[in-house]
Structure 1
Amino acid sequence: MEPQLQHGVTDAVATVVIHHPAKRNAMTAAMWAALPPLLDDLAADPAVRALVLTGEGGTFCAGADISTLRGSPEEAQRLAVRAEEALAAFPKPTLAAIRGHCVGGGSQLAAACDLRFAEEGALFGVTPAKLGIVYPASSTRRLVSLVGPATAKYLLFSGELIDTGRALRTGLVDEVLSEGELAKRVAEFTRILVSRSQLTQAAAKEFADGRTDRDAHWTGQMRAGGDAAEGVAAFLERRPPRFTWALPGRG
């Protein structure tokens, strides 16, 4: 099977699978280019309330397919950054489910997700120093925001891999699961995500990502929508809330 991004939607959760097992799910130029339009389609689908990014089999993503860097490293990096930015801008909660190697471009994609859950034994690395490539400024800032400048420099300067224990301590991942427990935990957590208010999630995502000019917009959305009233009523009536606010979909 050709390297590709596979996807499906189940119970309001879109799952995107990096499928290139012959090269530990390394991203080809075509795969990088395919990710932004795929994310656009999933973002516009009103049936999608959360997204999971993962890799086929026992590996998340071993980075960029190095053979694609021979012609034009700059073009390959441009495609990777565009894909990373599209993932970071996805308007609904995103979660990277990580097994095995999460290296180079794999770490770039994982860092662009809102959350990262990893199985014990996963390995993480940011490896441009092994290739003489300048890591993009936007990717560097995103990494620093997750792990702090000291750990970001350690990863970028050395290109060394770190295990799940260190990744958890430094904030690179949010949860570490025992072998065989990752899929169960991701399914459980995404059920929680899709049950919560999309209004709260969308506003929180913008604020957490640094938007400082949207308070009035989201306050207006809260007043116009019914989620706040429904949430209070459900709490007082001791029942699950039925939130109805949704991001605008494609007509």
Structure 2
Amino acid sequence: MQLEQSLSGGVATVVINHPAKRNAMTSAMWRALPPLLEALAADPDVRALVLTGAGETFCAGADISTLREPGEDPRALAVAAEEALAAFPKPTLAAVRGHCVGGGSQLAVACDLRFAQEGALFGVTPAKLGIVYPASSTRRLAALVGPATAKYLLFSGELIDSARALRTGLVDEVLPEGELDERVAAFTRVLVSRSRLTQAAAKEFADGRTDRDAHWAEQERGAGDTAEGIAAFLERRTPRFIWSPQT
């Protein structure tokens, strides 16, 4: 049981690997995610991040057996991991197969985008265990799918299929079986080719973390990405954007 990571073409991939429990997250795995994300955020070679599960399951939630372990509250650990993922400064995408339930949905919703394979199932299930879903997680879910769908999911704990997840905005794209990896790879290549300046500012604004228009206007003036983007458009070539968080 572990979180595996790799880097290729500017895209970091983090794989939830706990096959014995359908990739359920243990306390140790929740605890490991924030420092892993911190290291990837600081790596200038990382331009985007994909979160997925090993095999044919994304994540079946928290490993319930760990809820009785002494020590740190696993729910607090899950929230800390979720918040670290939501705050990741580069584009994030959850690639979902199979079950995406409970803590798995927490992680998927914390990503910027979610692509799913047909047949994926989504659920937010604390009502089945008598657990109060965290306020921050509830607000993030409601902001994504709307209050009515968030209440449906939270009140009932019922699973919804990929078609309904697409209709409600829980996922952005649904792919036929066998096409998810190819589509994720193609789309992340697009992300890597775009301006990091635009992406960083857009993420900060869209997530409601700041209204620092003046800061980003200053970054834009100093970056040279706008001039490069216009020149590339006029010359019909691929732009070579240079801004990075370290500049």
* TM class by smaller structure: over 0.9
What amino acid is the match of 1:125? Answer: G
Partner of 1:245: 243
Pick aligned residue for 1:78 from 76, 79, 99:
76
In the aligned structure 2, how far is the partner of 1:108 from the partner of 1:71? Answer: 21
Pick aligned residue for 1:191 from 179, 182, 189:
189
Are 1:178 and 2:168 an aligned pair? no
Equivalent residue runs for 1:50-61 within 5 Å: 50-61=48-59
Pick aligned residue for 1:153 from 144, 151, 154:
151
Equivalent residue runs for 1:121-160 within 5 Å: 121-160=119-158
State whether residues 44 and 248 of structure 1, in contact with CA within 8 Å, keep that contact through their aligned partners in structure 2: no
Equivalent residue runs for 1:89-128 within 5 Å: 89-128=87-126
In the aligned structure 2, how far is the partner of 1:49 from the partner of 1:157? Answer: 37
Q: Name the TM-score, length of structure 1 as normaliser.
A: 0.97
Q: SS in structure 1 opposite 2:181?
A: helix
In the aligned structure 2, how far is the partner of 1:72 from the partner of 1:141? Answer: 29
Pick aligned residue for 2:218 from 196, 212, 220:
220
State whether residues 6 and 13 of structure 2, in contact with CA within 8 Å, keep that contact through their aligned partners in structure 1: yes
In the aligned structure 2, how far is the partner of 1:237 from the partner of 1:27? Answer: 49
State whether residues 49 and 93 of structure 2, in contact with CA within 8 Å, keep that contact through their aligned partners in structure 1: yes
Cα deviation 1:209-238 (Å, max 9, x = unaligned): 013431110000000111001000001111
Indicate how the Cα distance of structure 1 residues 166 and 74 shifts in structure 2: closer, same or farther if over 3 A, else same.
farther
Number of aligned pairs?
247
Could you tell me which runs of 5 or more consecutive residues in structure 2 were left unpaired when the two chains were aligned.
none
Could you tell me which runs of 5 or more consecutive residues in structure 1 were left unpaired when the two chains were aligned.
none
Bigger shift: residues 213-222 or 112-121:
213-222
Paired-residue identity, %: 80
State whether residues 60 and 101 of structure 1, in contact with CA within 8 Å, keep that contact through their aligned partners in structure 2: yes
Q: Where does structure 1 differ by over 6 angstroms across 4 or more consecutive aligned residues?
A: none
In the aligned structure 2, how far is the partner of 1:74 from the partner of 1:211? Answer: 28
RMSD: 1.1
In the aligned structure 1, how far is the partner of 2:211 from the partner of 2:26? Answer: 37
Are 1:36 and 2:34 an aligned pair? yes
What amino acid is the match of 2:203? Answer: K
Q: Name the TM-score, length of structure 2 as normaliser.
A: 0.98
What amino acid is the match of 1:16? Answer: V
